[in-house]
Amino acid sequence: MATTTSPDRVLDLIEAYRRSKTMFTAVELGLFERQPQTDAEHRLADACVSLGLLKRDASGRYINSDDADKYLKRDSPDTMTGYIDYSNRVLYRLWGDLEGAVRENKNRWGTDGILFSNFYATDESMKTFLMGMHGFGRMSSEAVVSAFDLSRFQRLVDLGGGTGHLPMAAKQRYPQLSSAVFDLPRVIGFARTIASDIDFLEGDFFTDPLPQSDLYALGRILHDWSEDKIRALLAKIVAALPKGGGLLVAERLLDDDKGGPITAHMQSLSMLICTEGRERTVAEYESLLRDAGFSSVSAKRTGTPIDAILAVK
């Protein structure tokens, strides 16, 4: 029996990058905060209308869709412009040589320096990266801290927690929980301008002693690093935790058979081009965590871009 084929999927993928670059450019040029001025800007705005990001009113003026108002305006508390800036200025260039990353099994920074020296090469690039993670985190952190009952813990320290979106969400859900971010001094200096009502502690989780806590968090940290570095970090965390202490891991989980989801596979390729790491299945994370000394490991898919794992010593 003959099967019916269609070029629609292939055609959609051919032009997919055009749609994302259209949104990136509109954000970069501020078209969600003002009216277009030139013919080229009108063409860009019309393209955004076709994408459902802008609308035209009866007078022909462009107005934001509800999604654009919430996520694409820089003054919105839920803005995603930081992550869009990071995607446009950094990831878009690195993804341009995915072929090289696959052939060489190596990120595309073109240097052999420390990974985050690339993300934090300048104050501006550091702020762009951190605000990107902040906007992305705001979509998921509430679901991550709600995935398990954390009420038995007394203190949460988010290792490499950046702007503190996860501890802030935890503090809101568990008011009795003392919450802190432990991150590099430059990061902490910037994070203090973003977050409040949590502690900020300076240090490097690979080289410095960990602050005392009965619950640590690693939010989108493990997927950055090689397995050797992950094992060393997990062993350090287990050694620092009291019996019954926990580790909350926030990562995008691959399906058990690695058949999806698409977003996790795209993120895994993104890890290939810009880090030492990759995305994993629940079983792969459980193996790493149990090998490190955790006796109980539970995972939950949150329905947001980031899932949750709780490991208990």
Looking at the structure, tell me whether residues 151 and 252 fall in a common domain.
Answer: yes
Let me know if residue 162 belongs to a domain. yes
In a domain, 262, yes or no: yes
Q: What is the DSSP string of the chain?
A: -PPP--SHHHHHHHHHHHHHHHHHHHHHTTTTTS---SHHHHHHHHHHHHTTSEEE-TTS-EEE-HHHHHHTSTTSTT--HHHHHHIIIIIHHHHTTHHHHHHHTS-SS-S-S-HHHHHTSSHHHHHHHHHHHHHHHHHHHHHHHHSS--TT-SEEEEET-TT-HHHHHHHHH-TT-EEEEEE-HHHHHHHTTT--SSEEEE--TTTSPPPP-SEEEEES-GGGS-HHHHHHHHHHHHHHSPTT-EEEEEEPEEPTTS---HHHHHHHHHHHHHSS---EEHHHHHHHHHHHT-SEEEEE--SSSSEEEEEE-
Domain edge (last residue) among 56, 73, 90: 73
Are 184 and 307 in the same domain? yes
Q: Are residues 206 and 299 in the same domain?
A: yes
Instruction: Give yes or no: residues 69 and 154 share one domain.
Output: no
Does 109 map to a domain?
A: no
Residues 270 and 187 in one domain: yes
Same domain, 42 and 146: no
The number of domains in the chain is: 2
One domain, residues 64 and 195: no
Per-residue pLDDT of the chain (313 residues; tens, 9 = 90+): 667 899 999 999 999 999 999 999 999 999 999 999 999 999 999 999 999 999 999 999 999 999 999 999 999 888 889 889 989 988 999 999 999 999 999 999 876 545 566 667 788 878 877 887 888 888 899 999 999 999 999 999 999 999 899 999 999 999 999 999 999 999 898 889 887 789 999 999 999 999 999 999 999 999 999 999 999 999 999 999 999 999 999 999 999 999 999 999 999 999 999 999 999 999 999 999 999 999 999 999 999 999 999 999 9
Domain for residue 16, yes or no? yes
Residue 84 belongs to a domain? no
Residue whose pair of structure tokens reads 């813990």 in the numeric block: 153
Position 144 in a domain? yes
147 and 280 in a single domain? The answer is yes
Domain extent at residue 18: 8-73
What pLDDT score was predicted for residue 90?
Answer: 87
51 lies in a domain?
A: yes
My answer on whether 186 and 59 are in the same domain is no
Among 44, 73, 102, residue at a domain's last position: 73
pLDDT of residue 137: 83
Among residues 42, 134, 165, 223, the one annotated as catalytic is 223
Read off the pTM.
Answer: 0.90
- For the stretch 204-216, pLDDT in tens is 999 999 999 999 9
With CA atoms as reference, report the closest residue to 197 among 220, 226, 177, 219: 177
257 in the same domain as 182: yes
CATH number of residue 53's parent domain: 1.10.10.10
| Mean pLDDT for the chain overall | 93
Among 26, 42, 73, the domain boundary falls at: 73
Same domain, 41 and 145: no
Query: What per-residue confidence (pLDDT) applies to 120?
Result: 74
223 assigned to active site: yes
Residue 110 domain-assigned (yes or no): no
Q: Which two tokens stand for residue 259?
A: 């058949």
Largest CA distance in the chain: 66
